[in-house]
Chain A
Amino acid sequence: MTAAFLWELLRRIFVKFFKTSFDVVIFIGLVAITIWFNLRFEKPASSEDQVLLQNFIEWYAIFYAFALGLIVGHAWNKHNTINCTIDHEADALALLLQTGRMAHNKILSTNLCDAVESYVRYVRKARYKDRRTKEEAQEEMNKIHGCIEQMINSSEVQESLKPELIQQYNKFHDARSDRFDLIKQEIKFPIWMNLIVFSLVWLWGFFWLKIESKQLSNYILGITTFSIAYLFSLARDLDNPKSGFWRMNFEPFDSFDVKAV
C-alpha cells in the first residue's frame, strides 16, 4: 500500500513537472541567448566598473523586489479571496437552510433542504470542474430558486421569514458568481514574461561580479537563482486556483452537513 502510494506520488510529481515546465524552458532559453550576447562583448573588469555593478545590483533589487512583491502579493490575495468566497457561499447556504426550517409548512421546508443538499452534493463532486454556465449547476440553482419562490408565494410561511429567505439566497448567488469572477482574473502572460526578463536582468549582474572564491560565487549565484525561480513558481501556483498546491479549498462544502445545520 505504501509502495503503491509512493509510486503514484512520484508519477504525479513528474507528470506535473513536465506538464508545467514551459516557464523553465523560457528561463533557460533566455539565459542561453544572453550568454551568446555576453560572449561577444568585453566583461566589466576594472574596479570602477565593479563598484558600479555592485550599486546597480543593490538598486535594481529594490525595483525587482517591488515588482515581484506586487505579483506574489496579488496572487496570494486572490488565493485567499477565492477561499473566503467559497466560505461565504457555504455560510449563506447554511443560513438559508436554517431560515427555511423555521417555516410552518414542513413540506416546503423539506423541499428546500433537499434542493440545498442536492446542490452541496453537486459542488462536492464537481469541485474544480464547476462552471458558471454548466447545465447541471443551473439545474441545481433553479431547484433552490423554485423552492424559495414557492415559500414566498405560500400563505403558510411566516411573512417575517420571506425577506430573510430572499436575502440569504441573494448572498449565496453573489458568492457563487464572485467565485467564478475571481477564477477568471488571472495574471496575464506578458506580465509573467516581464517578470522573467526582470529576473534575468538582475541575475546577470551576479554573473559579472568578480569573486575570487569559486565556492562563494556559486553559493551567491545558486541561492539568488533558486530564490527567484522558487518565488516565480510559487506565484504561478498561487495564481492558478484549479490546480497546484495552492488550489481552491472546498472544505466548507465537504464539511457541510445538511442534517446538522
Chain B
Amino acid sequence: MKSIGKTESQRSFETEIRRVQLDERLDRIASFFVPFMKAGLITAAILYIFNQFAL
C-alpha cells in the first residue's frame, strides 16, 4: 500500500535500493565469519606444525 501515490520511476528506484540493501546485508553477514575462518585456519596450521615437528 506504501507504493500508492508514487511514480513508476520512484517504485523501480525503491525496488533497486531494496535489492542493494539486501545484497549489502548478506555481504556483511558473510564478512562477519571471515576473520574467524582466517584465525581458525592459521591456528590449525600452527598447531599442526607444532605437533608434527614436536617442537
Q: State the CA gap A237–B36 with chains docked (Å).
A: 12
A203-214 vs B, CB cutoff 8 Å, 1 = contact: the mask equals 100011000001
- Decide if A125 touches B20 in the complex (CB within 8 Å): yes
Contacts of B29 in A (CB 8 A): 9
> Which residues does chain A contribute within 8 Å of B20, judged by CB atoms?
124-125, 127
What bracket does the count of chain B residues touching chain A fall in? 20 to 34
Set of chain B residues within 8 Å of A222, measured between Cβ atoms: 43, 47
Q: Inside 8 A of B16's CB, which chain A residues have their CB?
A: 125
CA distance A222 to B45 in the complex (A): 10
Which residues 25-50 in B have Cβ within 8 Å of A in the complex?
26-43, 45-47, 49-50
Stretch binding the partner chain, chosen from A15-23, A102-110, A158-166, A170-178 = A15-23
In the complex, A167 has a CB within 8 A of chain B: no
Number of interface residues of A (CB under 8 A): 44
Asked if A225 and B46 make an inter-chain contact with CB atoms under 8 angstroms apart, the answer reads yes
Inter-chain contacts of B27 with A (CB < 8 A): 12, 243
Contact assessment for A17 and B34 in the assembled complex, using a CB-CB cutoff below 8 Å: yes
B7 contact set on A, CB distance < 8 A: none
Binds B, one of A24-32, A71-79, A91-99, A137-145: A24-32
Measured CB to CB, the residues of B under 8 A from A are 13, 16-17, 20-21, 24, 26-43, 45-47, 49-51, 53, 55
User: In the bound complex, do residue A17 and residue B39 qualify as a contact, i.e. CB atoms below 8 Å apart?
Assistant: no
Shortest CB-to-CB span from B2 to chain A, Å, is 12
Q: Give 11 A-B contacts (CB < 8 Å), ordered by A residue.
A: A8-B26, A12-B27, A13-B37, A17-B37, A20-B34, A127-B20, A127-B24, A214-B51, A222-B43, A226-B43, A237-B35
Known contacts A12-B30, A243-B31: A31-B45 contact under CB 8 Å:
yes
Which residue of the partner chain B has the closest CB to A34?
B49
